[in-house]
Amino acid sequence: MVVGLPKSDRKTFPGPGFDEEEVDLIFHALADRTRRDIMGKVSQGEQSISDLARQYEVSFAAIQKHVSVLERASLVTKRVDGRQKLVQNNPETLRRATNLLAEYERIWTHRINAIGQILDQEKTEERKIR
Amino acid sequence: MVVGLPKSDRKTFPGPGFDEEEVDLIFHALADRTRRDIMGKVSQGEQSISDLARQYEVSFAAIQKHVSVLERASLVTKRVDGRQKLVQNNPETLRRATNLLAEYERIWTHRINAIGQILDQEKTEERKIR
DNA sequence: CAAACCTACAACCATTTAGTTGTAACTTAG
DNA sequence: CTAAGTTACAACTAAATGGTTGTAGGTTTG
- Least confident segment among A65-69, A123-127, B108-112: A123-127
Indicate the residue of B1, B4, B115 with minimum beta-carbon distance to A54: B1
The predicted-structure confidence for A11-63, as pLDDT tens digits, reads as follows 445 555 679 999 999 999 999 999 999 999 999 999 999 999 999 999 999 99
Across chain B, what does the average pLDDT equal? Answer: 82
pLDDT band at B111 (very low <50, low <70, confident <90, very high): low
Give the model confidence (pLDDT) of B39-76 as tens digits: 999 999 999 999 999 999 999 999 999 999 999 999 99
Query: Is there a contact between B91 and A109 if contact means CB atoms under 8 Å apart?
Result: yes
Give the nearest chain A residue to B25 (CA atoms): A31
Question: In angstroms, rounded to a whole number, what is the distance separating the alpha carbons of residues A91 and A42?
Answer: 11
Q: To the nearest 5 percent, what fractions of chain A are helix, strand and coil?
A: 55, 10, 35
Return the percent helix, strand and coil in chain B, to nearest 5. Answer: 60, 10, 30
The SS3 call for residue B86 is: strand
Residue numbers in B near A107 (CB within 8 A): 40, 43
Q: What is the mean pLDDT of residues B99-115?
A: 81
> Cβ of residue B77 near strand D, that is under 7 Å?
no
Residue A122's pLDDT is what?
A: 37
Query: Would you say the C-beta of B78 is within 7 Å of strand D?
Result: yes
B122: how many CB neighbours lie within 10 A of its CB? 10
Domains, chain B, ordered by start: 20-122 (1.10.10.10)
Give percent of chain B with pLDDT exceeding 70. Answer: 72
| Predicted pLDDT of residue A110 | 72
Q: Which residue is nearest to nucleotide C28 (CA to C1')?
A: B83
Mean pLDDT of A107-130: 50
C-alpha pair distances (Å), A41 with each of A67, B7, B24, B53, B94: 12, 19, 18, 42, 26
What does the pLDDT read at residue B6? 47
pLDDT confidence of residue B31: 98
Confidence tier at A87 by pLDDT (50, 70, 90): very high
Query: Is the CB of B15 inside 8 Å of chain A's CB atoms?
Result: no
pLDDT in tens, A110-121: 765 554 444 443
Is residue A100 predicted with pLDDT exceeding 60? yes
- Which residues 45-104 of chain A have a CB under 7 Å from nucleic chain D? 57-62, 65-66, 69, 81-83
Size of interface A-B (CB pairs under 8 A): 151
B20 touches A: beta carbon within 8 Å: yes
Residue B110 confidence (pLDDT): 73
Instruction: Identify the band that residue A8 occupies on the pLDDT scale cut at 50, 70 and 90.
Output: very low
Sign of CA dihedral B46, B49, B51, B53: positive
Helix (H) or strand (E) holding A51: helix A49-54
Which pLDDT score is estimated for A90?
Answer: 96
State the pLDDT confidence band at A3, using cuts at 50, 70 and 90: very low
Q: What angle (nearest 5°) sits at the alpha carbon of residue B72, between those of residues A28 and A111? A: 85
Question: What is the average per-residue pLDDT within B73-98?
Answer: 96
Confidence tier at A105 by pLDDT (50, 70, 90): very high
